[in-house]
Amino acid sequence: MLFDKTCSVEYRTVSGVYNNLQYVAHPTLTAVPVNIQPMAAQFNNATGGVSYKNYKVFTTVSGVVEGMRLTVAGTNEQFIVVGRQRFDYIVAPHYELIVEADKQ
Protein backbone atom coordinates (compact mmCIF):
# COMPACT_ATOMS: atom_id res chain seq x y z
CA MET A 1 0.00 0.00 0.00
CA LEU A 2 1.40 3.38 -1.02
CA PHE A 3 1.26 6.09 1.64
CA ASP A 4 2.04 9.37 -0.08
CA LYS A 5 1.07 11.84 2.67
CA THR A 6 1.33 12.26 6.41
CA CYS A 7 -1.29 13.68 8.74
CA SER A 8 -1.42 15.01 12.24
CA VAL A 9 -4.44 13.98 14.31
CA GLU A 10 -6.51 16.13 16.65
CA TYR A 11 -9.35 15.20 18.97
CA ARG A 12 -12.19 17.28 20.38
CA THR A 13 -12.20 18.41 23.97
CA VAL A 14 -14.28 20.71 26.14
CA SER A 15 -12.54 23.73 27.56
CA GLY A 16 -13.25 27.00 29.24
CA VAL A 17 -16.04 28.33 31.37
CA TYR A 18 -18.57 28.10 28.52
CA ASN A 19 -17.76 24.47 27.65
CA ASN A 20 -16.40 25.36 24.21
CA LEU A 21 -15.50 22.43 21.96
CA GLN A 22 -12.08 22.72 20.39
CA TYR A 23 -9.54 20.45 18.72
CA VAL A 24 -6.33 19.53 20.54
CA ALA A 25 -3.30 17.81 18.99
CA HIS A 26 -3.08 14.10 19.78
CA PRO A 27 0.18 13.49 21.68
CA THR A 28 1.25 10.34 19.79
CA LEU A 29 -0.48 10.58 16.39
CA THR A 30 1.65 13.34 14.90
CA ALA A 31 2.91 11.89 11.58
CA VAL A 32 0.40 9.26 10.48
CA PRO A 33 1.18 7.85 7.00
CA VAL A 34 -1.95 7.93 4.80
CA ASN A 35 -3.28 7.61 1.27
CA ILE A 36 -6.29 9.83 0.53
CA GLN A 37 -8.67 9.00 -2.33
CA PRO A 38 -11.93 10.73 -3.37
CA MET A 39 -15.04 8.61 -2.88
CA ALA A 40 -17.19 7.63 -5.83
CA ALA A 41 -20.39 9.63 -6.32
CA GLN A 42 -22.71 6.77 -5.33
CA PHE A 43 -21.00 6.56 -1.92
CA ASN A 44 -21.24 10.32 -1.42
CA ASN A 45 -25.00 10.13 -1.87
CA ALA A 46 -25.25 7.20 0.55
CA THR A 47 -23.35 9.07 3.25
CA GLY A 48 -25.31 12.28 2.77
CA GLY A 49 -22.30 14.11 1.42
CA VAL A 50 -21.69 16.25 -1.62
CA SER A 51 -19.48 15.07 -4.47
CA TYR A 52 -15.79 15.84 -3.98
CA LYS A 53 -16.25 16.48 -0.24
CA ASN A 54 -16.03 12.88 1.02
CA TYR A 55 -12.84 10.85 0.86
CA LYS A 56 -11.43 7.47 1.88
CA VAL A 57 -8.22 7.49 3.86
CA PHE A 58 -6.12 4.34 4.03
CA THR A 59 -3.68 3.86 6.92
CA THR A 60 -2.05 1.12 8.99
CA VAL A 61 -2.12 3.20 12.19
CA SER A 62 -4.81 2.35 14.73
CA GLY A 63 -6.29 4.81 17.19
CA VAL A 64 -7.94 7.20 14.75
CA VAL A 65 -11.68 7.22 15.49
CA GLU A 66 -14.83 9.07 14.50
CA GLY A 67 -14.87 12.76 15.34
CA MET A 68 -11.12 13.27 15.08
CA ARG A 69 -9.65 15.79 12.64
CA LEU A 70 -6.80 14.99 10.24
CA THR A 71 -4.53 17.76 8.96
CA VAL A 72 -2.41 16.90 5.92
CA ALA A 73 1.22 17.96 6.20
CA GLY A 74 2.30 20.43 3.53
CA THR A 75 -1.17 21.41 2.26
CA ASN A 76 -2.91 21.88 5.65
CA GLU A 77 -6.10 20.33 4.23
CA GLN A 78 -8.37 19.27 7.08
CA PHE A 79 -10.74 16.32 7.21
CA ILE A 80 -13.17 15.08 9.88
CA VAL A 81 -13.39 11.31 10.40
CA VAL A 82 -17.02 10.16 10.08
CA GLY A 83 -16.49 6.39 9.79
CA ARG A 84 -13.87 3.68 9.93
CA GLN A 85 -13.44 0.02 9.11
CA ARG A 86 -10.64 -2.42 9.91
CA PHE A 87 -9.38 -4.93 7.34
CA ASP A 88 -7.27 -7.81 8.66
CA TYR A 89 -5.84 -9.01 5.36
CA ILE A 90 -2.79 -11.21 5.84
CA VAL A 91 -0.75 -9.37 3.22
CA ALA A 92 -1.79 -5.81 4.07
CA PRO A 93 -3.84 -5.23 7.23
CA HIS A 94 -5.10 -1.66 7.31
CA TYR A 95 -7.86 0.77 8.29
CA GLU A 96 -10.15 2.59 5.89
CA LEU A 97 -11.48 5.88 7.21
CA ILE A 98 -14.37 7.79 5.67
CA VAL A 99 -13.68 11.49 6.04
CA GLU A 100 -15.28 14.70 4.89
CA ALA A 101 -13.55 17.96 4.13
CA ASP A 102 -13.64 20.27 7.15
CA LYS A 103 -15.85 23.28 6.48
CA GLN A 104 -13.63 25.68 8.43
Q: Supply the mean pLDDT for the chain.
A: 86
Average pLDDT of span 5-32: 88
DSSP 43-103: HHHHTT--TTTEEEEEES-----TT-EEEETTT--EEEEEEEEEE--SS--EEEEEEEE--
Residue-wise pLDDT for 52-67, tens only, equals: 578 999 999 889 999 9
Domain architecture of the chain: domains with CATH:
5-101 (2.40.10.270)
Q: How confident is the model at residue 102 (pLDDT cuts 50, 70, 90)?
A: confident
Is the model more confident about 48 or about 102? 102
| pLDDT at residue 46 greater than cutoff 60 | no
